[in-house]
């Protein structure tokens, strides 16, 4: 399976990834009693909220790419070992990875040991360095192209990055506030989200 085909297997909604049909992610979270559950922490504090830091944007892109074909629960449970393995997602460091680093990552059971995904992280880090040079930051590149439809974003990402199928692009942009849909309007986090002023809530 090539990168685009694997990327295409990722489902649109996290709710499907966790096998709760006819239930939104927000509704699923309400069924949880554990405040420390990885999904609740992510939903309440990260999902859909703007990210200002380029390394953290890169982190989210890498995690979304690695989720392709797997459950988001798996990725959330491995996020700290991902951080350690990828030098806290320092773009410059990852862009400078050599073959020995690829071998190290492929031998790390704490992450997803998929060579296509590992290589995509490295190539995408190098691409982001070029975008930073031209636009000032990865964030400014995203802001420069906002707003776009999901289809327009997908076309742009496929042209710019590796391993970025439509669902990966959709989840990355929805999770970072560039596309709507992360939270239901009646979600307890919705007002908090809107106060953070996600990009989708205001048009140029």
Residues known to be catalytic: 42, 64, 72
**Residue 157, both tokens:** 């990402």
State how far the Cα of 98 lies from the Cα of 95, in Å rounded to an integer.
9
Comparing CA positions, the residue from 111, 46, 51 lying closest to residue 77 is 111
Cα 158 from chain centroid (whole Å): 15
State how far the Cα of 24 lies from the Cα of 13, in Å rounded to an integer.
8
Comparing CA positions, the residue from 120, 78, 112 lying closest to residue 95 is 120
Handedness of CA 145, 9, 72, 191 (dihedral sign): positive
State how far the Cα of 122 lies from the Cα of 129, in Å rounded to an integer.
11
State how far the Cα of 149 lies from the Cα of 173, in Å rounded to an integer.
11
State how far the Cα of 46 lies from the Cα of 38, in Å rounded to an integer.
11
């Amino acid at each position: 399976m090539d990168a685009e085909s694997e990327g295409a297997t990722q489902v649109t909604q996290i709710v499907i990834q966790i096998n709760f049909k006819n239930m939104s992610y927000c509704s699923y979270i309400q069924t949880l009693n554990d405040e420390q559950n990885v999904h609740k922490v992510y939903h309440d504090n990260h999902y859909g909220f703007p990210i200002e830091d380029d390394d953290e944007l890169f982190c989210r892109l890498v995690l979304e790419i690695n989720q392709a074909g797997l459950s988001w629960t798996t990725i959330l449970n491995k996020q700290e070992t991902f951080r350690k393995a990828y030098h806290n997602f320092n773009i410059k460091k990852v862009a400078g990875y050599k073959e020995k680093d690829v071998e190290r990552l492929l031998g790390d059971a704490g992450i997803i040991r998929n060579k296509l995904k590992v290589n995509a992280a490295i190539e995408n880090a190098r691409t982001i360095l070029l975008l930073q040079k031209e636009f000032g930051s990865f964030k400014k590149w995203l802001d420069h192209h906002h707003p776009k439809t999901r289809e327009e974003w997908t076309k742009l990402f496929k042209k710019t990055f590796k391993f970025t199928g439509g669902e990966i692009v959709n989840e990355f942009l929805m999770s970072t506030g560039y596309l709507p849909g992360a939270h239901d309007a009646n979600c307890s986090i919705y007002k908090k989200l809107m106060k953070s002023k996600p990009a989708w809530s205001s048009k140029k």
